[in-house]
Chain A
């Protein structure tokens, strides 16, 4: 069974640009959540999707958005990038909420 796949692995952008990250969950998993990981803050919850519906959102500005498709694949978008957006963005999937999370390898975003 393939694990959670995130693409791309690395991204370099400049301030003001926008970026889209992709996540393919484990087959059969309908819950997908996103996290921002930084050395000082640990993992911070961005949002969670289930059956194409966002069920919760973390405390991030509106520049951070996401969506989920009918095949459970998910994308997150960050518009008007800022230097502080540089981080590892992790995606995780699970069968249902409250169950164990399976993480992807992440997308390392660098904003210059």
Chain B
């Protein structure tokens, strides 16, 4: 079955510390993977997608097909990074998106 797993419901880090939000997926084909973010009182929005291989707001994510992972990383967390983060998978040609249950990131001053 196609599935996205985010093992941490809550991740708390201090400002300036590195951050890694974990995402593992279950899909036998070539996945399209995304990270979406929801800041307080804002809409869910795209943070980055693996195909772009870009860094947004200092975040990067590398697709590891061997480990079926797409972890989100940032070397130095900022307080404004506090938000809910969702990893998502869209299996090619299925016209659906599978989201993980989300990880709440809290960056402490």
Q: Which A positions have Cβ atoms within 8 angstroms of B?
A: 3, 31, 33, 35, 40-45, 48, 50, 55-56, 58, 90, 92, 97-98, 100-105
Q: In the bound complex, what is the Cα–Cα distance between A66 and B67 (angstroms)?
A: 37
A98 to B89, CA, bound (A): 9
Residues of B within 8 A of A40 (CB): 101
Other contacts beyond A45-B97, A97-B90: 18, CB < 8 A: A35-B97, A40-B101, A41-B101, A43-B102, A44-B99, A45-B98, A50-B95, A55-B95, A56-B95, A56-B96, A98-B92, A100-B46, A100-B49, A101-B36, A101-B46, A101-B97, A103-B45, A105-B43
How many B residues touch A, CB cutoff 8 Å?
22
Q: Which residues of B contact A50 (CB under 8 A)?
A: 95
- Do A56 and B94 form a contact, CB below 8 Å, given A42-B86, A43-B86, A44-B99? yes
A35 to B43, CA, bound (A): 13
Is B44 positioned at the interface, with any CB of A under 8 Å from its CB? yes
B residues neighboring A (CB under 8 Å): 6, 32, 34, 36, 43-46, 49, 86, 88, 90, 92, 94-102
What would be 17 A-B contacts, judged by CB atoms less than 8 Å apart?
A31-B95, A33-B96, A41-B101, A42-B100, A43-B86, A43-B99, A43-B102, A45-B99, A48-B96, A50-B95, A55-B95, A58-B96, A92-B44, A101-B36, A101-B44, A101-B46, A102-B45
Contact between chains at B44 and A90 (CB < 8 Å): yes
